Amino acid sequence: MEPLIYIDTREQMPIEFTRSINIKLIVGDYTTKKHFNKLHLERKSPADLYGTILSGHKRFHKELRRAFENQIGLIMIIECTEEKFYSMRWRGGKYCKVKPETLKKIIETIKERYRLNFIWCSNRKKMKFVILKLLK
């Protein structure tokens, strides 16, 4: 049976689960009772990720600090393959001005500095599967 998934009330495009409730989470978008305030998952579309690492980095860094201060493990799940993200083959990607090499350096820096794992998912179905697997 699928666990009860807690979805942050601010999540704009929530993934549908058989069993879920909306609650305000300190950080991230998804967790369960078992992992509440221990492990949370942050979902990003490719456009969200692009905006977050370039123009929304102050807010993102505050979230990462909150996770660290509250000892909450945070995993970033991206609704796009890594290859598509860096080659800008996602909705709106053709308008992006930052070179793929620069994006890779920024993401590598974030991974190292904050010990943040990135999981790339090719579609929402795969993302749902990954979320359920991580939160079982």
For the stretch 54-94, pLDDT in tens is: 887 788 889 999 999 999 999 999 999 999 998 888 888 88
> What is the DSSP code (8-state) at residue 73?
E
Q: Which residues of 20-42 are buried (b: 16+ CB within 10 A; e: fewer)?
A: beeeebebbbbbbeebeeebbbb
Residue span of the structural domain in which 48 resides? 5-134
Give 89's Cβ-side CA count (13 Å radius).
Answer: 6
Mean pLDDT of the 9-29 span: 95
User: Is the pLDDT at 134 greater than 90, yes or no?
Assistant: yes
Instruction: Write the CATH number for 92.
Output: 3.40.50.10130
Q: What are phi and psi of 39, to 5 degrees?
A: -140, 120
Q: What is the pTM of this model?
A: 0.91
Count of the separate structural domains present in the chain: 1
